[in-house]
């Protein structure tokens, strides 16, 4: 009976803390917008060594592809659509990205920076 009670208590504790642990594991999110074939923000910083989720909203009436050789990402986003994907963890430095279908105007840069101590 004591073992059953201990198992039940352990299961309840695990269930109670599972949402907190899952939320803590979620990477930070960066909202990126594509409008008039330009990214906003065109440049942003992320913490080095951490995974980051990019949420890309396309406000243009044309499909675009987020493309970055530096980040090793190719991600299509439909007209007036939204997509999300992860980058990193990144070493400190600058990483460029572009819109594959409009590279003259859809340009951007992400900088991975060491956390301030």
Report the alpha-carbon distance of residue 39 to residue 35 in Å, rounded. 7
Position 18 scores a pLDDT of 52
pLDDT in tens, 34-48: 999 999 999 999 999
| DSSP for 32-68, written as a single string | EEEETTEEESSEEEEETTS-EEEEEEE-SSS-EEEEE
Burial of 77 (0-12, 13-18, 19+ CB in 10 A): buried
Number of domains in the chain: 1
Give whole-number Cα distances, 32 to 29, 56, 106, in Å.
Answer: 10, 5, 12
pLDDT in tens, 93-114: 999 999 999 999 999 999 999 9
In a domain, 74, yes or no: yes
In a domain, 18, yes or no: no
Q: Residue 76's domain spans which residues? A: 27-113
In a domain, 69, yes or no: yes
In a domain, 19, yes or no: no
In a domain, 34, yes or no: yes
pLDDT in tens, 67-100: 999 999 999 999 999 999 999 999 999 999 999 9
Position 6 scores a pLDDT of 45
- Output the domain CATH number for residue 68: 2.60.40.420
Dihedral of the alpha carbons of 22, 27, 33, 37, in degrees to the nearest 10: -130
In a domain, 4, yes or no: no
């Amino acid at each position: 009976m004591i073992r059953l009670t201990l198992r039940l208590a352990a299961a309840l504790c695990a269930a109670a803390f599972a949402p907190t642990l899952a939320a803590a594991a979620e990477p930070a999110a960066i909202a990126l917008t594509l409008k008039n074939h330009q990214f906003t923000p065109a440049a942003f910083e992320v913490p080095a060594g951490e995974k980051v989720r990019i949420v890309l909203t396309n406000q243009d009436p044309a499909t675009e592809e987020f493309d970055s050789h530096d980040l090793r990402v190719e991600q299509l986003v439909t007209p007036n659509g939204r997509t999300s994907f992860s980058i990193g963890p990144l070493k400190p430095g600058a990483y460029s990205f572009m819109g594959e279908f409009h590279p003259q105007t859809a340009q951007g840069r992400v900088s991975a920076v060491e956390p301030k101590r």
